[in-house]
């Protein structure tokens, strides 16, 4: 049986924090244009929520990735679809739902950095620092969370629960 408990982060908490992050990014990039990149599938809800509140000129792009051997430490990341923008000389911000081991974002970060953007920043909705395996400098963090398995707001358990508008702690009882 799968049990979804009470919201760990409510819709209101999430939306308030998203607006705060958007305001910080708007200030930091005032007078500049950015390329906002949503990392799918996880960021499919966070990304549109935050970009609609960022008020600097921007281009929107997407990258579809997955860490397909979750249990391994080798960081085997599959890129299913790359961004389409040429980011050389551009100010790029990556938007992710969660940084866990950091392997996914490290791989994507290094790949995009080699294309010589003017700047490359990372914005994650959730940060689970307890599980980090690689060094990663995260510029914008929505919430630091403890090592619980969470679902909702883009995060899944075996593909499900991504559509919940809040974050909940997932428990599986057999
Ligand atoms: C999840 C999440 C992050 C990554 C974080 O994606 O969206 O991209 O894992 O984990 P890490 O820091 O340990 O690499 P997943 O690979 O499950 O694909 P998804 O976005 O399609 O859910």
- What token pair was written down for 90? 């551009």
β 34-40/58-67 pair status: parallel
Whether 125 maps to a domain, the answer reads yes
pLDDT tens string 33-76: 999 999 999 999 999 999 999 999 999 999 999 986 555 555 67
Tell me what pLDDT residue 67 has.
84
Q: How far is the CA of 104 from the centre of ligand 1 (A)?
A: 6
Q: What share of the chain is helix, strand, coil (3-state, %, to 5)?
A: 25, 35, 40
Tell me what pLDDT residue 75 has.
63
Q: Indicate whether 174 pLDDT > 60.
A: no
Domain at 75, CATH number? 3.40.50.2020
Whether 84 maps to a domain, the answer reads yes
Range of the domain at 43: 12-26+33-146
Decide if 50 contacts 21 (C-beta within 8 A).
Answer: yes
pTM given for the model: 0.94
Whether ligand 1 lies within 6 angstroms of the CB of 126 is answered as no
Smallest CA-to-CA distance from 145 within 1, 2, 3, 13 is with 13
pLDDT tens string 74-108: 567 999 999 999 999 999 999 999 999 999 999 99
In a mutational test of the pocket of ligand 1, which residue from 66, 71, 109, 127 has the highest number of ligand atoms less than 8 Å from its CB? 66
pLDDT tens string 144-161: 999 999 999 999 999 999
Q: How many domains does the chain have?
A: 1
Whether ligand 1 lies within 6 angstroms of the CB of 128 is answered as no
Whether 92 maps to a domain, the answer reads yes
């Amino acid at each position: 049986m799968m049990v979804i408990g009470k919201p760990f982060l409510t819709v209101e908490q999430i939306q308030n924090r998203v607006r705060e992050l958007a305001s910080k990014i708007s200030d930091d990039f005032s007078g500049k244009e950015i390329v906002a990149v949503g990392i799918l599938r996880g960021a499919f809800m966070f990304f549109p929520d935050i970009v609609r509140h960022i008020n600097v000129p921007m281009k929107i792009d997407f990258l579809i990735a997955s860490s397909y051997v979750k249990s391994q430490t080798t960081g085997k990341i599959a890129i299913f679809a790359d961004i389409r923008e040429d980011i050389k000389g551009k100010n790029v911000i990556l938007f992710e739902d969660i940084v866990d081991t950091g392997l996914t974002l490290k791989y994507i970060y290094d790949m995009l950095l080699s294309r010589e953007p003017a700047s490359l920043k990372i914005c994650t909705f959730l940060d689970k620092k307890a599980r980090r395996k690689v060094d990663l400098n995260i510029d914008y963090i929505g919430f630091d969370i403890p090592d619980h398995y969470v679902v909702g707001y883009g995060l899944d358990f075996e593909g499900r629960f991504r559509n919940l508008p809040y974050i909940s702690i997932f428990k599986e009882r057999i």
